[in-house]
Structure 1
């Protein structure tokens, strides 16, 4: 029988059990999300769900999940690193801190993981959340300085006090006009998101009382870990996983008792395209009803753009819209054109 590793022997048994359960359940979470997405898309109809399972590409579902939730991974990594390290430097001893799985993960997390998470967050977080990213970076840097160079007062003064204050001054110079614009527009959420993080950064780059640290890190992490899966699930339920399509057919070729007789010789059908083959085009409309359209009767087909989210802010930060990400700035966008009449339910050709 092999002896347990030194790190495992020092770690409390409860923490090891938590870590084993976490590693067991984590791979199942994306699968549960994908199944729930199909269940939601099928309007809780089992026959429709089985049809979607048969034809919907798992790669397409994973792609939609990744694009929709790409910001979640750096958020998790940075919060674990910041608050786990805060617990490590604030606890009475490292053994006491490692009773929490949060501190254990932060202790074992390699530095390159945090660097990659910072870079990913910088391009996937909205502009108004970048001051919070700056706060987390300063917090991680300062706390790790306390952890590894806690006996060097000069280094602690530079990393824990001087650097956060200097960065806060530069941040307010850059963010000042946007904060003022958000205040004038009564956008209090954006005032807080843009103005608060630089101010509190100097106070979070060092240890805090042990009781406060455990209450504000371990138990907050427990609460977030309970709520987060539901929040992520709600976000993913609204992500499109099938292309929105409009199809023209000859009138009357599709049996639709729920639809009025067409006024002309052409029907226009709009919905989510499930599959296309030599004999049938399978389409699901907005009410979850599946239409089977003979391929030979299809006159034309087009993709319809997804509805864009209505902007909720009028604030720009040095010309950068507060709700845009760097990735949206860098990625090419389609030019806005007149909407295709088929996407509005009208035929594109004269009847």
Structure 2
């Protein structure tokens, strides 16, 4: 392993290896902890129910739910680390070798940043895309400052010309959304759309040395502490079992509907987890019909759209086809198909 030589001296290889070992230990364990907590939350803190869910829930299904729910967080971590670490390197080069944030930014390959940018462009909501543009121009600026110090005209173009040009394009595109957000009283949406393009040119160069640690290291530490909690709260509410409604009763008698999350179907019984945490085993000879119920659709938090693109939708969800039920199955509402 080679050292990173900067003015402040490199981080000793043994210390870097120890930090890397801790990081490699925590990263794989964090998704596992999330999966276990999700089952604990789903079982309403009942251990027998949790063990039953562990037996029947597919690990691939859990991992898929984790991936779909948290895919947006991966590019956020990569881009923020690269931007803040780069600013710290060019602002306080004497201390860059002692900061894990700066070393991470220096060691991060460009292709990783490119893939993270592409992933964010498809998975982030429209109202966060101006922030993405701000992060990209900031990374371009600090990278140019590190690599093209002798080429003043190229450095000036990348650190000043490109951010101003990109910021102007973003403002032109989102301007109708800013106006609509202000008219609707959605100040937060207007700020998310309009402020990042203005900040981009300010984040492409060094900040005063006395404030570099304050504006880069401590925000990164705060984000590292808050992010696992936010990610955990989001994933704990993500569906991992299909919502279903099972019509139960004798062939020639009164029937009822059992609603809940379908755990398994075997040769003898259909297992359903009710919303209150109760597990119901329904003999298959009593099952008359069953159906999948759609997830309840949350009303949008924002009514603003930009040129026909709702600000709460990502490019992937806006472009990709979606399944919309025009009618609600009566069984999903707790009513039988043929009420007597």
Partner of 2:77: 76
Partner of 1:212: 211
Q: Go from structure 1 to structure 2 and tell me whether the alpha carbon gap of 1:15 and 1:100 turns closer, same or farther (over 3 Å shift).
A: farther
Offset of residue 20 of structure 1:
2.2
Offset of residue 163 of structure 1:
1.4
CA distance in 2, matches of 1:286, 1:294: 20
Partner of 2:57: 56
Q: Deviations over 1:262-285 (max 9, x none)?
A: xx7011000010110010100010
CA distance in 1, matches of 2:164, 2:10: 38
Offset of residue 176 of structure 1:
1.2
Partner of 1:259: none
CA distance in 1, matches of 2:4, 2:154: 29
Alpha-carbon contact 1:15-1:99 (below 8 Å) kept: no
Partner of 1:343: 332
1:321-332 paired onto structure 2 within 5 Å: 321-332=310-321
Alpha-carbon contact 1:38-1:53 (below 8 Å) kept: yes
Alpha-carbon contact 1:86-1:207 (below 8 Å) kept: yes
Given the alignment, which residue of 289, 293, 315 partners 2:304?
Answer: 315
1:33-44 paired onto structure 2 within 5 Å: 33-44=34-45
Alpha-carbon contact 2:177-2:304 (below 8 Å) kept: yes
1:202-351 paired onto structure 2 within 5 Å: 202-250=201-249, 265-351=254-340
Is 1:10 the counterpart of 2:3? The answer is: no
Offset of residue 114 of structure 1:
0.5
1:118-267 paired onto structure 2 within 5 Å: 118-250=117-249, 265-267=254-256
CA RMSD of aligned residues (A): 1.7
Partner of 2:28: 27
CA distance in 2, matches of 1:189, 1:150: 38
Q: Which runs of 5+ in 1 are unaligned?
A: 253-263
Classify the secondary structure of the residue corresponding to 2:288: strand
CA distance in 1, matches of 2:65, 2:106: 32
Offset of residue 17 of structure 1:
3.0
1:86-97 paired onto structure 2 within 5 Å: 86-93=87-94, 96-97=95-96
Partner of 1:261: none
Offset of residue 16 of structure 1:
4.2
Classify the secondary structure of the residue corresponding to 2:98: coil
CA distance in 2, matches of 1:177, 1:10: 49
Offset of residue 230 of structure 1:
1.0
Classify the secondary structure of the residue corresponding to 1:131: helix
CA distance in 2, matches of 1:115, 1:180: 32
TM-score (norm 2): 0.95
Classify the secondary structure of the residue corresponding to 1:299: strand
Offset of residue 30 of structure 1:
0.3
Alpha-carbon contact 2:249-2:256 (below 8 Å) kept: yes
CA distance in 2, matches of 1:245, 1:39: 21
Offset of residue 15 of structure 1:
4.6
